[in-house]
């Protein structure tokens, strides 16, 4: 069961079966990842109920191509698309991943459109954006119409890995800027955000013999915003600090329990005293926290059932009106077969203060659906950085 919302690299298969390995050193490795998420949704908003027969947002396809280069480096090209939310203005398909990656054992350079570093960790929700206001640093250049604006952007990133587990990332991005008027095309793609993060993380392959701390991290996002009345770059920038941790409460191969939490502190602009739209929402000082308990039952060395309970709280201390929001997410994934899960999820959100004018008082969403995800590769020619062989028995480029 691949409950991770982020699709892994996937594969085209046409020529693959022919060259399974004979000339593997020279042929590119081809990867295919696919994730289909289809749910029936019932939304209850202010005592009014609406339904969506089919919500297939987040469904997508990723293709990847990897190759050994000279001097111990590897190169990779990833192209992928997904179906955006129905109410978005991104069209039928959104190419969320199109990047080139260059890496050796301890250095990674990434260029192109990809997931921005707006979150330190992932949470066990059905879709990536189910709790976006809590789990991600929000893009202040967006109109708020598309959740993809906060998750994907044009990325320039360098990562260095110390001792296999400590990751230092320095990144610059162009976050999508909603053009004015909105129907026109974006024309400026210059750098509008920079940041860095430092995190300790245990590779997933070493889950069973590293029992407690799985991840601890801190990140800094700095949006190069225009702020009337301020001249210095530092004062004009919108700053966010993110911290996170993941711990294994019970690292048991059959009954696995973990807990994860993340806090995002938006330093904000002190002059923002009211939230009236998405522009002020992203510029008001705020603290968002989100946490999840997850229980995973594994039978026959494969996941069989996952139950997760998540909660988030966000507060805006500088606003004139006491403003905060709260969210609960409970879900269950049950494996029907290899890679195929049935899922049920309930979400409840409540808004207070200025947020009520934007979102209403509360809403509840009930979802039933299926998730099918694959992660396959052909023409394997080298190992992953975090394989047990490479981690514990010497890295082979």
Q: How many angstroms separate the CA atoms of 317 and 119, rounded?
A: 22
Q: C-beta of 100: minimal distance to other proteins in Å?
A: 24
Considering only residues 89, 168, 253, 317, which one is a binding residue for other proteins as defined by CB under 8 A?
Answer: 253
Q: Which range in 17-25, 108-116, 180-188, 213-221 contacts other proteins by CB under 8 A?
A: 17-25
In the complex with other proteins, the residue whose CB is nearer, 168 or 336, is 336
Q: C-beta of 374: minimal distance to other proteins in Å?
A: 11
Q: How many angstroms separate the CA atoms of 28 and 65, rounded?
A: 6
Considering only residues 23, 163, 184, 190, which one is a binding residue for other proteins as defined by CB under 8 A?
Answer: 23
Partners of 287 in the β-ladder: 265, 315
Considering only residues 71, 209, 231, 270, which one is a binding residue for other proteins as defined by CB under 8 A?
Answer: 209
Q: Residue 358: CA atoms inside 13 Å, Cβ hemisphere, count? A: 21
In the complex with other proteins, the residue whose CB is nearer, 73 or 220, is 73
Based on the shown chain and the rule CB under 8 A, indicate whether residue 394 belongs to the binding site for other proteins.
Answer: yes
In the complex with other proteins, the residue whose CB is nearer, 160 or 299, is 299
Site for other proteins in 353-392 (CB under 8 A): 380-381, 383, 387-389, 392
Based on the shown chain and the rule CB under 8 A, indicate whether residue 21 belongs to the binding site for other proteins.
Answer: yes
Q: Other CB atoms closer than 10 Å to residue 224's CB: what's the count?
A: 18
Q: How many angstroms separate the CA atoms of 132 and 149, rounded?
A: 11
Q: How many residues bind other proteins (CB under 8 A)?
A: 30
Based on the shown chain and the rule CB under 8 A, indicate whether residue 107 belongs to the binding site for other proteins.
Answer: no
Considering only residues 87, 188, 226, 338, which one is a binding residue for other proteins as defined by CB under 8 A?
Answer: 338
Q: How many angstroms separate the CA atoms of 19 and 23, rounded?
A: 7
Four-residue CA torsion sign, 330, 41, 94, 376: positive
Residue 56 in contact with residue 82, Cβ under 8 Å? Answer: no
In the complex with other proteins, the residue whose CB is nearer, 72 or 322, is 72
Q: Other CB atoms closer than 10 Å to residue 136's CB: what's the count?
A: 25
Q: Which range in 14-22, 151-159, 229-237, 277-285 contacts other proteins by CB under 8 A?
A: 14-22
In the complex with other proteins, the residue whose CB is nearer, 235 or 252, is 252
Q: C-beta of 396: minimal distance to other proteins in Å?
A: 6
Burial 247-262 (b: 16+ CB within 10 A, else e): bbeebeeeebebebbb
CA 186 to chain centre: 24
In the complex with other proteins, the residue whose CB is nearer, 251 or 360, is 251
In the complex with other proteins, the residue whose CB is nearer, 87 or 301, is 301
In the complex with other proteins, the residue whose CB is nearer, 24 or 132, is 24
157: closest CA among 116, 199, 104? 116
In the complex with other proteins, the residue whose CB is nearer, 166 or 374, is 374
DSSP state of 319: S
Per residue, what are the HEC states of 67-78?
EECCCCCEEEEE
Considering only residues 162, 302, 320, 361, which one is a binding residue for other proteins as defined by CB under 8 A?
Answer: 302
In the complex with other proteins, the residue whose CB is nearer, 156 or 247, is 247
How far from 393 is each of 106, 385, 390, CA to CA, in Å?
16, 12, 6
Q: Using omega within 30 degrees of 0 as the cis cutoff, is the peptide bond preceding 181 cis? A: yes
Q: How many angstroms separate the CA atoms of 124 and 331, rounded?
A: 8
Based on the shown chain and the rule CB under 8 A, indicate whether residue 301 belongs to the binding site for other proteins.
Answer: yes
Q: C-beta of 212: minimal distance to other proteins in Å?
A: 14
Q: Which range in 22-30, 51-59, 183-191, 258-266 contacts other proteins by CB under 8 A?
A: 22-30
Residue 343 in contact with residue 39, Cβ under 8 Å? Answer: yes
Based on the shown chain and the rule CB under 8 A, indicate whether residue 208 belongs to the binding site for other proteins.
Answer: yes
Based on the shown chain and the rule CB under 8 A, indicate whether residue 24 belongs to the binding site for other proteins.
Answer: yes
* Element spanning 318, H or E: none
Q: C-beta of 110: minimal distance to other proteins in Å?
A: 24
What percent of the chain is helix, strand and coil (3-state, nearest 5)? 10, 50, 40
| CB-based contacts of 97, cutoff 8 Å, min separation 6 | 62, 78, 79, 80, 81, 112, 113, 114, 115, 152
Based on the shown chain and the rule CB under 8 A, indicate whether residue 252 belongs to the binding site for other proteins.
Answer: yes
Residues engaged in binding other proteins (CB under 8 A): 20-26, 205-206, 208-209, 251-254, 299-302, 338, 380-381, 383, 387-389, 392-394, 396
């Amino acid at each position: 069961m691949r409950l991770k919302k982020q699709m892994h690299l996937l594969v085209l298969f046409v020529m693959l079966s022919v060259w399974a390995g004979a000339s593997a050193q020279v042929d590119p490795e081809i990867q295919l990842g696919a994730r289909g998420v289809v749910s029936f949704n019932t939304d209850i908003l202010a005592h009014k109920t609406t339904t969506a027969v089919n919500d297939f947002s987040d469904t997508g396809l990723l293709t990847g191509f990897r190759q050994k280069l000279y001097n111990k480096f590897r190169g990779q090209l990833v192209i992928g698309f997904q179906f955006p939310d129905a109410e978005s203005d991104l069209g039928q398909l959104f190419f969320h991943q199109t990047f080139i990656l260059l890496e050796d054992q301890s250095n990674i350079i990434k260029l192109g459109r990809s997931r921005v570093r707006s979150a330190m960790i992932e949470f066990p929700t059905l879709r990536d954006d189910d709790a976006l206001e809590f789990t991600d640093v929000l893009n202040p250049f967006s109109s708020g119409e598309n959740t993809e604006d906060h998750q994907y952007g044009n990325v320039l990133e360098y990562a260095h890995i110390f001792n296999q587990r400590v990751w230092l990332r320095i990144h610059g991005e162009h976050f999508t800027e909603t053009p004015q008027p909105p129907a026109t095309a974006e024309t400026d793609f210059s750098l509008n955000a920079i940041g860095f993060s430092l995190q300790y993380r245990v590779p997933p392959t070493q889950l069973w013999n590293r029992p407690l701390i799985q991840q601890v991290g801190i990140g800094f996002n700095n949006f190069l915003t225009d702020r009337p009345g301020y001249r210095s770059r530092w004062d004009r920038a919108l700053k966010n600090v993110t911290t996170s941790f993941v711990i294994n409460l019970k690292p048991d191969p059959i009954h696995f329990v973990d807990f994860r939490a993340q806090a995002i502190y938006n330093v904000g602009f002190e002059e923002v005293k009211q939230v009236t739209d998405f522009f002020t929402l992203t510029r008001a000082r705020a603290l968002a926290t989100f946490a999840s308990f997850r229980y995973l039952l594994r039978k026959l060395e494969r996941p069989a059932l996952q139950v997760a309970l998540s909660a988030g709280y966000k507060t805006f201390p500088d606003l004139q009106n006491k403003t905060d929001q709260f969210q609960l997410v409970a879900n269950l994934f049950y494996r029907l077969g290899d890679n195929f899960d049935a899922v049920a999820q309930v979400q409840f959100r409540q808004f207070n203060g200025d947020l009520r004018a934007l979102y209403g008082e509360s809403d509840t969403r009930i979802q039933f659906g299926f998730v099918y995800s694959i992660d396959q590769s052909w023409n394997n020619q080298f190992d992953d950085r975090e394989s047990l062989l490479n981690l514990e028995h010497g890295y082979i480029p």
